[in-house]
Chains A and B, each alone.
Chain A
Amino acid sequence: MTTMHPPTLDVQKRDPVFLDRYTVANENLLVLAQIYTATFALALGSLFGLLQTFSRANFIVMPPEFDYYRMLTAHGVLLALVFTTFFIVGLFQFAIYRTIVRPGRSLKLGWFGYAVMLLGTIMAATSILGGNASVLYTFYAPLKASPWFYFGATFLVLGTWVVAAEVIENVIWFKRRHAAQRIPLPAFIGATTMIMWVIATLGVVAEMALLIPWSLGWTSGIDVELTRILFWYFGHPLVYFWIMGAYLVWYTIVPTTFGGRVFSDSLTRL
């Protein structure tokens, strides 16, 4: 059994170290903020789905503000995009904080990223619930949403890029201090996944660069096929991030919890 002990670089020698009772309250607070926001999005999106089911089954009558496509868009965006983004980002931040022990770590970048993500989510959610963005979570042009929706989606993604920068910064810090050591496996999975995330979300940001001026009326036409391809450039890899999260848990948290070991560290990294 592990006992309480003060923060020490010692724990980095053991890999992985998820079971350590060593906690840094500030870091946990940021991770919890991410996970609670994800859970709230899941709860709200699920509630909308449930209400629509009851409404379709004629169990209840929904007020006209809760029309089917508006609620379906809110359901899809909250579950597929918002829930996934906050949960995955929070999980990998957790992996970094727990395995790269860094006393006095600055969380400014991490909190800033979270704030940008939250701002984007609120902008997009407000515009959907206001009935100005009933475009489903795929938002295929030339269905047009309010610019607020597109700005919101852009901020949600840009916020995750800030978090990705924070994750990479922590890994670089570790490598500078411990050149001879391997990056702890959970931190390695976290960093590679965040890099994959940035590559995948390039598609959304590129699409938004086309959609925002168009929705503001600055440009008149939109390339229907191009925007759809850019969406799926992101939408298809989106499912990888759940599997990467599952890999992190299977390969590091589960073996630690149940006293097992990682069968092959090298192959896991591969």
Chain B
Amino acid sequence: MHVHRYEKIWLAFGIAMLAIFLVTITTAAVVEGFVPPSHVESIDPAKVSSTAPFDHPGLRKIKTGVYEAYYVGRIFAWEPRTLTIPAGARVTFFVTATDVVHGFSIPETGVNTMVSPGWVSTVSHTFAKAGTYLLLCNEYCGGGHQAMAASIVVR
């Protein structure tokens, strides 16, 4: 097959670009740990309210400045509805759903993960700035989806 010189140049350019992007993404993921929030732990969605620690959703102190927050999403609310966190705390959220797919999102923080029934999603954030944060559902979950919101108070 005859390939013109100009086409060879463009092909080489395209292939080089692909290679550079692949190397960049792989380096970021492997070396710097840039991976999307994932859900690897499973849970029986019908028994969430009787499975610890989701039977008592809320904040757990691990040590000074380090917390874990357990959330349950169901149509159309997040539990707990409000959560108070000390400013500067590093919080790891563990979130699951009982019914349909929800989206756990705290605007302006980078916390944004899909929540599927049967799985526990995990995402961490350090709340440096005091204030009231909005926690909402950003994955369409039915007729009352727009009302599914809660608040997080950092002080």
Contacts and interface: CB of A to CB of B under 8 A. Distances in A.
B3 A264 contact: yes
Interface string B109-121: 0000000111100
Interface string A143-155: 1000000000000
19 contacts: A140-B101, A142-B100, A143-B100, A143-B140, A224-B118, A224-B119, A225-B116, A225-B119, A228-B101, A228-B116, A263-B4, A264-B2, A264-B4, A264-B7, A266-B1, A266-B3, A267-B1, A267-B3, A270-B1
Contacts of B7: 263-264, 267
B145 A140 contact: no
B83 interface: no
Interface residues of B, number: 18
B73 to A, nearest CB: 13
B36 interface: no
Interface in B128-143: 139-143
B41 interface: no
Interface of A: 67, 69, 134, 136, 140, 142-143, 224-225, 228, 263-264, 266-267, 270
Given A224-B101, A225-B118, A263-B7, 12 more contacts: A69-B140, A134-B143, A140-B101, A140-B139, A140-B140, A142-B100, A142-B117, A143-B100, A224-B119, A225-B116, A264-B3, A267-B3
A69 B143 contact: yes
Interface of B: 1-4, 7, 99-101, 116-119, 139-143, 145
Which 7 residue pairs are nearest across A and B when measured between Cβ atoms? A266-B1, A224-B116, A140-B101, A142-B100, A143-B100, A136-B140, A267-B7
A134 B139 CA distance: 14
Contacts of A136: 140
Contacts of B118: 224-225
Contacts of A67: 143
Nearest to A267: B7
A140 B102 CA distance: 10
A105 to B, nearest CB: 32
Contacts of A140: 100-101, 139-140
A89 to B, nearest CB: 29
Contacts of A224: 101, 116-119
